């Protein structure tokens, strides 16, 4: 029989047992259990077929840019430049190893999920209680639960005593769910509201129960999460997509240049071998083989910096992706809020009071606070802080803040009897004092406590209760995002002997309402504001009540208006993906959502061209974390979430995400600067070689010059650009659009005109030297081209600001790299032993001075360009 799609929460205990053919008193027989195990399979999560380690390693070499680099290495080797070939191969291998390690770690997500299901279970078989391994459980088994147990399968609760289960890992609820046995009447409700069911992988925190197994393995709710997780494939990051397009364009351009130079040289009568070597050298030079190394180093340094800011990067690509994020979908509890309940409002005497404004102890405050302290299961630890269930701890802290000491009160009024909290009654009652004189305190939900009250305590005595008015007041507090508890009391002449709960919890005097909330983090509001100024839209996704979510969102600025839309999981389910894509841009808060719905939110945003960051800490979050462009797990979350995520927040703080976004933008800016620098430099090498023959001059550079410039200028200075600090205003601009070319915003125009300027200066010095009769014209061209690139790298350290305004030494590594490159270039000119190697000759001081003056023109020209941008006279070249 297929029972997987039944709404088990709508069936009575008897109907559920009958549907599964199970005896609720004796359980299944061993023979029947064995038969069902064969029919239904093991109660385990199935892993999809995974790639072998060798396949993962091989796939790292399938990237187009890597193939181009391998080709460049082969050509360099054929030309005899084994050093350049070796450098390229080392870069390729290092990048492949890094990618392999990242993918291998990603495969551990399913393994972590599977480890959650390996616990044992106590089960009723043939009328006897037996301990079995969780994988052998079958539908129809009767399982026994107690505090501390992990729920081994999806269960229909058939008996419950004060049962509470922590379902936060699956549903996102921040408070342990109170369970009961009564069937529900509505079928279409979120998992967290199905209070007669318990789910595989969740934890029993209080009480005990018996449950009927209704789903196992991949048919359980946890199994459905596993299926979602295995179905999600890893997305390419925005940078990877841009670089892939860039690589293909570059390879075609390099081949075209190689062919053109070769043909033009032959038409001019140049030697075939020389032209072949020159053309191939240019083609190799046009390919920035240092680019993968620069990207890797940038990401690695960024990841190292982020860990000091409490953000642990699991996949290096996440560092750059953060800089392109347009939506941050964040969990509420613990990330945007403090994950600690606080009493914020108390309602007594028809008046709302600040929770900690009760310095005077006039009636009715003392009785209320005594009740909060005494009728409480939390305890005060050695540090003076309340510890225990979050709500209970918050109530005790409120009593302490008002000056009431629980231990002192218990000396005079010890607990002598109690009616524990019951999910059906939704209230608890404790009796304090002696058998001859005692007081009972009752607390619970307003709708459960108020019907038990006959009067209300006012400052001038007791009055008749107006339950309708009070329920309306409680509703107003709930709309303010608070969890509302009602507190009442009754004085007894002697301890009642009756065990009738209805009798014991009657004739109560209403004392007041207590409003609790998990308040926003102090820094979260500023972080949300910074997101909005940076063109990033923050979205709250929570398992909590819609009104609670709305209140927190308004306080943080996520919802700008009181009537801002909050969409529930039920509403989301009613929309097709296409319909949802039409409204997703208007929704800022989601409440009561399940795992598939979180993925639906991510997909809808991605289909609209957004780059989505998703936070989460539970098993239920793992598929969405993997589906998002960047998944961000909480440090205190589950192993499953951490394994599926790209980044882990060690402090579970939304503000840390914003700091990481800033770092991601800095890294992306610096990678663009490197591409701008290296491609402009390559253009500066190509133009003089390409144009010189048309001007009647010999080719100004030899292959050795091209390879040398490629090595020293792209190497150390290029890598040093990765350490450039953030631009001012980096968080006051919108993210780069996903489909935007890496050459956008004037970058390709900059590369062309600066490349032409470099080439023109080289041709100018060549023409001057040849006209003046200097035999050193080739060395002068070689020097001008190398040094002009150094001036260029200094000028492009900032997109629009002057180098002098940000400080020449604000990036000391780059200054050292430029000085070292200058020294190496001088060595090729003035060290005699190197002259025959590099085909150079020593320049006179006048010739060197001319080279220095001409090469500095590039620096000042780019500084003028940035000045024009600041004035608004030309478009941003950054």
Q: Domain residue spans in the chain?
A: 8-47+113-231, 53-106, 270-297+665-726+741-871, 313-338+521-652, 342-517
Position 267 pLDDT exceeds 70: yes
What pLDDT does residue 104 have?
A: 60
Inter-residue contact 37 to 136 (CB < 8 Å): yes
Average pLDDT on 820-840 reads 93
Position 692 pLDDT exceeds 90: no
CATH architecture type of domain 270-297+665-726+741-871: Up-down Bundle (1.20)
Tokens representing 99? 């990618």
Tokens representing 588? 């800022």
Q: Which residue has better confidence, 117 or 595?
A: 595
Does the fold of domain 270-297+665-726+741-871 match that of domain 8-47+113-231?
A: no
What gap in Å lies between CA 214 and CA 211, rounded to an integer? 9
What pLDDT does residue 230 have?
A: 64
Position 220 pLDDT exceeds 50: yes
Position 452 pLDDT exceeds 90: yes
What pLDDT does residue 755 have?
A: 94
Q: What is the 3-state secondary structure (H, E, C) of 280-318?
A: HHHHHHHCCCCHHHHHHHHHHHHHHHHHCCCEEECCCHH
Q: C-alpha 5: how far from its chain's center?
A: 33
Q: Which of 753, 744, 729, 748 is nearest to 864 (CA)?
A: 753
pLDDT above 70 covers a percentage of the chain that reads 85
* DSSP-assigned letter for residue 439: E
Q: What is the pLDDT of residues 527-548, one digit of tens each?
A: 999 999 999 999 998 877 788 8
Rounded to the nearest 5 degrees, what angle is found at the Cα of 223, between the Cα atoms of 165 and 139?
A: 75
Q: Which residue has better confidence, 48 or 185?
A: 185
Q: Which residue has better confidence, 843 or 381?
A: 843
Average pLDDT on 464-491 reads 91
Average pLDDT over all residues of the chain: 84
Q: What is the pLDDT of residues 314-327, one digit of tens each?
A: 777 777 788 889 99
Average pLDDT on 579-597 reads 88
What pLDDT does residue 119 have?
A: 60
Catalytic entry in 84, 141, 154, 331: 331
pLDDT confidence band for 92 (50 / 70 / 90): low
What pLDDT does residue 320 have?
A: 72
What gap in Å lies between CA 246 and CA 64, rounded to an integer? 10
What pLDDT does residue 110 have?
A: 41
pLDDT above 90 covers a percentage of the chain that reads 41
Please state which of the ranges 281-285, 415-419, 666-670, 811-815 shows the lowest mean pLDDT: 281-285
Average pLDDT on 443-461 reads 92
Please state which of the ranges 283-297, 359-373, 584-598, 853-867 shows the lowest mean pLDDT: 283-297
What pLDDT does residue 544 have?
A: 75
What pLDDT does residue 113 have?
A: 43
Position 765 pLDDT exceeds 80: yes
What pLDDT does residue 617 have?
A: 77
* DSSP-assigned letter for residue 170: H
pLDDT confidence band for 446 (50 / 70 / 90): very high
Inter-residue contact 22 to 28 (CB < 8 Å): yes
Position 111 pLDDT exceeds 70: no
What pLDDT does residue 371 have?
A: 95
Average pLDDT on 813-830 reads 95
Give the CATH number of domain 342-517.
3.40.1110.10
pLDDT confidence band for 360 (50 / 70 / 90): very low
Q: Which residue has better confidence, 103 or 41?
A: 41
Average pLDDT on 465-470 reads 93
What pLDDT does residue 36 have?
A: 95
What pLDDT does residue 72 have?
A: 63
Q: Which H or E run includes 485?
A: strand 483-492
Inter-residue contact 97 to 50 (CB < 8 Å): no
What 3-state class would DSSP assign to 405?
coil
What pLDDT does residue 639 have?
A: 63
What pLDDT does residue 174 have?
A: 59
What pLDDT does residue 358 have?
A: 43
What pLDDT does residue 232 have?
A: 54
Average pLDDT on 651-659 reads 88
What is the 3-state composition of the chain as percent helix, strand, coil, each rounded to the nearest 5? 50, 15, 30
What pLDDT does residue 106 have?
A: 45
What gap in Å lies between CA 534 and CA 522, rounded to an integer? 20
Q: What is the pLDDT of residues 295-311, one digit of tens each?
A: 777 777 787 788 888 88
Q: Which of 657, 629, 647, 662 is nearest to 528 (CA)?
A: 657
Q: Which residue has better confidence, 238 or 114?
A: 238
Q: What is the pLDDT of residues 17-53, one digit of tens each?
A: 999 999 999 999 999 999 999 999 988 877 555 556 7
What pLDDT does residue 69 have?
A: 61
What gap in Å lies between CA 148 and CA 794, rounded to an integer? 62
Tokens representing 752? 């062309």
Q: Which residue has better confidence, 354 or 50?
A: 354
Residue 579 a catalytic site member = no
Q: Which residue has better confidence, 760 or 299?
A: 760
pLDDT confidence band for 756 (50 / 70 / 90): very high
Could you identify the residue written with the tokens 């108020």? Answer: 450
Give the CATH number of domain 8-47+113-231.
2.70.150.10
CATH label, 313-338+521-652, candidates 3.40.50.2300, 3.10.129.10, 3.40.50.1000, 3.40.228.10: 3.40.50.1000
């Amino acid at each position: 029989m297929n029972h997987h799609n039944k709404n088990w929460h709508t069936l009575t205990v008897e109907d559920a047992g009958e549907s599964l053919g199970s005896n609720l008193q004796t359980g299944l027989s061993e023979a029947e259990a064995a038969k069902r195990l064969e029919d239904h399979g093991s109660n385990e999560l199935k892993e999809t077929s995974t790639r072998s380690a060798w396949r993962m390693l091989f796939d790292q070499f399938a990237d187009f840019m890597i193939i181009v680099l391998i080709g460049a290495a082969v050509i360099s080797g054929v030309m005899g430049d084994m050093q350049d070939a070796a450098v390229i191969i080392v870069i390729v291998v290092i990048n492949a190893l890094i990618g392999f390690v990242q993918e291998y770690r990603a495969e551990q997500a399913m393994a972590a999920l599977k480890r959650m299901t390996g616990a044992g279970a106590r089960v009723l078989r043939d009328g006897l209680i037996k301990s079995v391994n969780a994988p052998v459980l079958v539908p129809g088994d009767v399982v026994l639960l107690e505090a501390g147990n992990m729920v081994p399968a999806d269960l229909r609760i058939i008996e419950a005593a004060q049962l509470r289960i922590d379902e936060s890992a699956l549903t996102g609820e921040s408070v342990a769910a109170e369970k009961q046995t009564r069937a529900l009447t509505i079928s279409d409700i979120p998992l967290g509201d199905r209070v007669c069911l318990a789910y595989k992988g969740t934890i029993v925190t209080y009480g005990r129960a018996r449950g009927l197994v209704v789903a196992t393995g991949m048919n359980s709710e946890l199994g459905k999460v596993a299926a979602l997780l295995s179905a999600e494939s890893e997305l390419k990051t925005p940078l990877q997509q841009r670089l892939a397009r860039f690589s293909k364009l570059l390879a075609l351009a390099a081949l075209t240049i190689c062919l053109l130079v070769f043909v033009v040289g032959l038409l001019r009568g140049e030697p075939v071998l020389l032209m072949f070597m020159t053309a191939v050298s240019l083609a190799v030079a046009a390919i920035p083989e240092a680019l993968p190394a620069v990207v890797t180093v940038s990401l690695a340094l960024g990841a190292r910096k982020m860990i000091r800011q409490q953000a642990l990067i699991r996949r290096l690509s996440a560092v750059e992706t953060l800089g392109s994020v347009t939506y941050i979908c964040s969990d509420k509890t613990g990330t945007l809020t403090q994950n600690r309940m606080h009493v914020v409002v108390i309602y007594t005497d028809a008046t709302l009071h600040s929770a900690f404004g009760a310095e005077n102890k006039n009636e009715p405050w003392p009785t209320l606070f005594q009740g909060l302290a005494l009728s409480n299961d939390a305890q005060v630890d050695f540090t003076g802080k309340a510890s225990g269930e979050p709500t209970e701890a918050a109530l005790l802290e409120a009593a302490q803040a008002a000056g009431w000491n629980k231990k002192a009160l218990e000396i005079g009024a010890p607990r002598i009897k109690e009616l524990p909290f019951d999910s059906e009654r939704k209230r608890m009652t404790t009796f304090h004092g002696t058998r001859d004189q005692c007081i009972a305190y009752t607390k619970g939900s307003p709708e459960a406590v108020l019907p038990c009250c006959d009067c209300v305590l006012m400052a001038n005595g007791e009055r008749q209760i107006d339950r309708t008015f009070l329920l309306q007041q409680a509703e107003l507090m709930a709309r303010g995002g608070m969890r509302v508890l009602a507190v009442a009391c009754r004085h007894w002449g002697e301890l009642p002997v009756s065990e009738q709960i209805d009798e014991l919890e009657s004739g109560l005097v209403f004392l007041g309402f207590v409003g609790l909330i998990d308040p926003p983090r102090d820094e979260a509001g500023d972080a949300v504001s910074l997101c909005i100024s940076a063109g990033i839209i923050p979205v709250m996704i929570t398992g909590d009540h819609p009104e609670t979510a709305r209140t927190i969102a308004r306080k943080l600025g996520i919802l700008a208006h009181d009537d801002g839309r909050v969409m529930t999981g039920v509403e989301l389910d009613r929309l097709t993906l296409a319909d949802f894509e039409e409204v997703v841009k208007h929704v800022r808060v989601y409440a009561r959502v399940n795992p598939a719905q979180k993925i639906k939110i991510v997909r809808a945003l991605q289909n609209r061209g957004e780059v989505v960051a998703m936070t989460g800490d539970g098993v239920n979050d793992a598929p969405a974390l993997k589906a998002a462009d960047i998944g961000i797990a909480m440090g205190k979350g589950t192993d499953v979430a951490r394994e599926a995520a790209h980044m882990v927040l060690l402090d579970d703080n939304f503000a840390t995400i914003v700091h990481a976004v800033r770092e991601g933008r800095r890294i992306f800016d610096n990678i663009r600067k490197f591409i701008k620098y290296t491609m402009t430099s390559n253009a500066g090498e190509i133009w003089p070689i390409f144009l010189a023959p048309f001007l009647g001059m010999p080719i100004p550079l030899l292959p050795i010059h091209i390879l040398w410039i490629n090595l020293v200028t792209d190497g150390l200075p290029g890598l040093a650009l990765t350490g450039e600090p953030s631009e001012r205003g980096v968080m006051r601009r919108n993210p780069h659009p996903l489909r935007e070319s890496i050459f956008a915003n004037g970058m390709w125009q900059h590369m062309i005109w600066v490349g032409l300027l470099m080439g023109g200066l080289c041709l100018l010095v060549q023409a001057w030297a040849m006209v003046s009769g200097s035999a050193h014209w080739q060395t002068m061209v070689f020097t001008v081209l190398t040094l002009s690139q150094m001036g260029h790298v200094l000028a492009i350290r900032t997109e629009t600001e002057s180098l002098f305004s940000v400080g020449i030494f604000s990036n000391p590594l780059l200054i050292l790299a430029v000085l070292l490159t200058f020294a190496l270039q001088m060595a090729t000119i003035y060290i005699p032993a190197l002259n025959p190697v590099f085909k150079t000759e020593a320049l006179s001081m006048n010739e060197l001075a001319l080279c220095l003056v001409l090469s500095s023109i590039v620096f000042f020209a780019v500084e003028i360009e940035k000045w024009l941008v600041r004035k608004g006279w030309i478009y941003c070249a950054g």
